[in-house]
Structure 1
Amino acid sequence: MSYLAAEYQGKQDLAIVERKFKEIKGSDVLIRIESATICGTDVHILAGEHFAKAPVVIGHEFAGYVEAIGQDVSTIQVGDLVTVEPHIFCGNCKFCRIGKEHLCLNKLAFGVHLDGGFAQYCVVPERTVYKVPQGMSADVAALTENVGCCLHGVDRLDVKQGDHAIILGGGFVGIVLAELIRLRGASKVIVSEPNQIRRDMLLRRGFITIDPLNENLVEKVSSITNGLGADIIVEAAGRPDTAKQCVDLVGRGGTIMFFGVVPPSHSIEISPNDIFKRELTILGSAINPYSHHRSLEIMDSLHLDELVTHKFPLSRIDEAFEAARKGVGIKVAIHPNSTGGTSE
């Protein structure tokens, strides 16, 4: 017996291959993948800008139905719709032992080191599996890890009521971050995004938007914030040019968070004296520690169904990645066990 999977083979090469089922035992959970969404990290992997241990099935945002379980599994049953927290931590390094598993020195990730979700089936350990609440679609459930990353980022920001926040990049994570920051009490949430489709979605959700291609971003932000600059800046586009803009947009005593995955080969210059004089705080935010369960609890309030704008079968994964790269929608999903066409 075999199943189909999209295997990253290195050198920007992705191929549909047949994989053989392995024996399910112990704490193993076999999932029939219903939906797997494309993340910016997946795009970076195929562009050669992010590490993946080839050959490996990429895709770390996925949900599906439990097909089989090992004899030690007790928290889920065959037929359950589940989502996967796609990391395995060693449990023994310093960071695992002080409650910072996401900084684990020996961390492994599905879709990077281990086979992930762009396949008809995937086997994961029970501890990474979460049962999906009643009524939640598989497309939304696949987004749980991504929402968890956003929750962790907003936790680190420590948003105060009345803050002015700017998000650079209005893709899926930009929209979710905007929603979460507003829920935390920010009085103005501004999103800079060149894509008209994404700006329209943000406007419908009640956010202030800026088109950085046709408006002067620094002047517009200065006007909105009465010349004071923003209290919070989040770089959510993963681009060197937007990363460089952060210091120009943040106000005194403000916080900059680098959330987007800027390719490791790029760097920016920041004046230590500027950080000193203005008492700036600069943060990073990595993955989603202890937030998967919280994500499932809050996702209904974020209205995520409308953000999954494109859906493709596994056989058309190249088209799906092209749509993600071009930003023609917001979130692109792969339905590995479907033969249907794309929907927009």
Structure 2
Amino acid sequence: MPQPLAGWVRVRVRAVGICGTDIPIFEGIRPVPYPLIPGHEFAGEIDALGPGVTDWQTGDRVAVGLVIGCGACPACYRGQENLCPRITEIGIHINGAFAEYVLAPTKTLHRLPDHLSFADGASVDPLASSYRGIRRLNLQPCDDVAIFGLGPIGLYALQAVRAHGVRRVIAITPRRGLRGEIAHRVGADAVIESAACGDLTEAVRAANRGALPSVVIEATGKPSVFADLYRTAAPGARVLLLGIFHERGMFDPAQIIRRELRVEGSFCYTWDDFEASLDLIARGQVRTAPVITHTLSLSHMAEALERIHRREAVKVILEP
């Protein structure tokens, strides 16, 4: 069993989610150090304390962020550890939580309120991954928002923009199915099936009372969506890219220039983003239950991956 170093703890994993970025690791598309135990969306109980740890006790319930900044660079000093040039990520650069126990430094820990489940705690990571970018959009009550992609990131982004009190939210997915149904349940005013609607721009206009949205959020990770993102954005709109892209894409920059679109990327999250996202769940402004479609034992990982590949599952939580 791994022993925690100074300033680290050992966490007994109670719930861990399968992230879309775990799939390319399993498939060998995303380069990672080997051997590696993936898994970075997790919560559990502190099982052992490393030397010098005084602010935590064994038995404390925690949700854990994956980002470990070096603590000494300008980005870390600004509280932007997600931009640290020497960033280390649990489950990507070092062993993660697809296991009974995982090691984590105390600076990644967040106290999990008693009224939240471990599955709630394991759901903070995907929410925080969307919420970081959404906080920077400076959303207003007059904003209309279109969201491309209804995986966990998109569905949590949908709820996060709703929590900001925007006027209207339009969810866009390739085809009819479970994801669109969940989008309706968590607050979408309209769900558009892009493969069946013909002219997507006109479908978005029709769903938004004749106007194009002032905010467009990408949560697909697919370069092929770029053209639709820019075509469906109103002149002067903000376009937020949340997806992690594992392939290169091409797009027409003229759309951005002529329509004065403000395109912004958002990578991962900071400690503050994670804490704010945990608070959204704790206050009931974001619901995890509709997004979590399957809960399985960790020993059923193969079944979980099959369900994801067949698009039968949206978010799978595994319990070691």
**Residue 318 of structure 1 aligns with which residue?**
302
Q: Do residues 96 (structure 1) and 76 (structure 2) align?
A: yes
2:68–2:81: 8 Å Cα contact kept in structure 1? Answer: no
Q: Which amino acid aligns with 1:224?
A: A
Aligned length: 314
Q: Which amino acid aligns with 1:297?
A: D
Q: How many Å apart are 1:134 and its aligned residue?
A: 1.3
| 2:292 equivalent among 308, 317, 326 | 308
**Residue 121 of structure 1 aligns with which residue?**
101
Q: Which amino acid aligns with 1:305?
A: A
**Residue 199 of structure 1 aligns with which residue?**
180
| 1:292 equivalent among 257, 264, 274 | 274
Q: Distance in 2 between matches of 1:149 and 1:74?
A: 29
Q: Which amino acid aligns with 1:312?
A: L
Q: How does 1:48-67 map to 2 (within 5 A)?
A: 48-67=28-47
| 2:205 equivalent among 222, 239, 242 | 222
Q: Distance in 1 between matches of 2:89 and 2:176?
A: 31
Q: How does 1:113-262 map to 2 (within 5 A)?
A: 113-193=93-173, 194-207=175-188, 208-216=190-198, 217-262=200-245
**Residue 258 of structure 2 aligns with which residue?**
277
1:230 partner SS: coil
Q: How many Å apart are 1:71 and its aligned residue?
A: 3.6
Q: RMSD of the TM alignment (CA)?
A: 1.6
Q: Greater share of strand residues, 1 or 2?
A: 1
1:79 partner SS: coil
How does the TM-score come out when normalised to structure 2? 0.93
Q: Distance in 2 between matches of 1:205 and 1:147?
A: 14
Q: Distance in 2 between matches of 1:95 and 1:147?
A: 22
Q: How many Å apart are 1:129 and its aligned residue?
A: 1.4
Q: After alignment, is 219-228 or 191-200 more displaced?
A: 219-228
2:195 partner SS: coil
2:79 partner SS: coil
Cα deviations by residue, 1:110-160 (Å, 9 ceiling, x for unpaired) = 111100010111011112111201111011101112211121010122212
Q: Distance in 1 between matches of 2:14 and 2:295?
A: 11
Identical positions, percent: 28
1:243–1:258: 8 Å Cα contact kept in structure 2? Answer: no
Q: After alignment, is 37-46 or 69-78 more displaced?
A: 69-78
Cα deviations by residue, 1:280-336 (Å, 9 ceiling, x for unpaired) = 100101001121211221113112123211122222212212222332122101112
Structure 2 CA distance for partners of 1:146 and 1:279, relative to 1, 3 Å: same
Q: Distance in 1 between matches of 2:309 and 2:281?
A: 25
Q: Which amino acid aligns with 1:205?
A: V
Unaligned residue ranges in structure 1 (runs of 5+): 1-20, 337-344
**Residue 9 of structure 1 aligns with which residue?**
none
**Residue 319 of structure 2 aligns with which residue?**
335
Q: Which amino acid aligns with 1:49?
A: I
Q: Which amino acid aligns with 1:329?
A: A
2:8–2:105: 8 Å Cα contact kept in structure 1? Answer: yes
Q: Distance in 2 between matches of 1:110 and 1:24?
A: 14
2:67–2:81: 8 Å Cα contact kept in structure 1? Answer: no
Q: Distance in 2 between matches of 1:326 and 1:258?
A: 25
Q: After alignment, is 76-85 or 318-327 more displaced?
A: 318-327
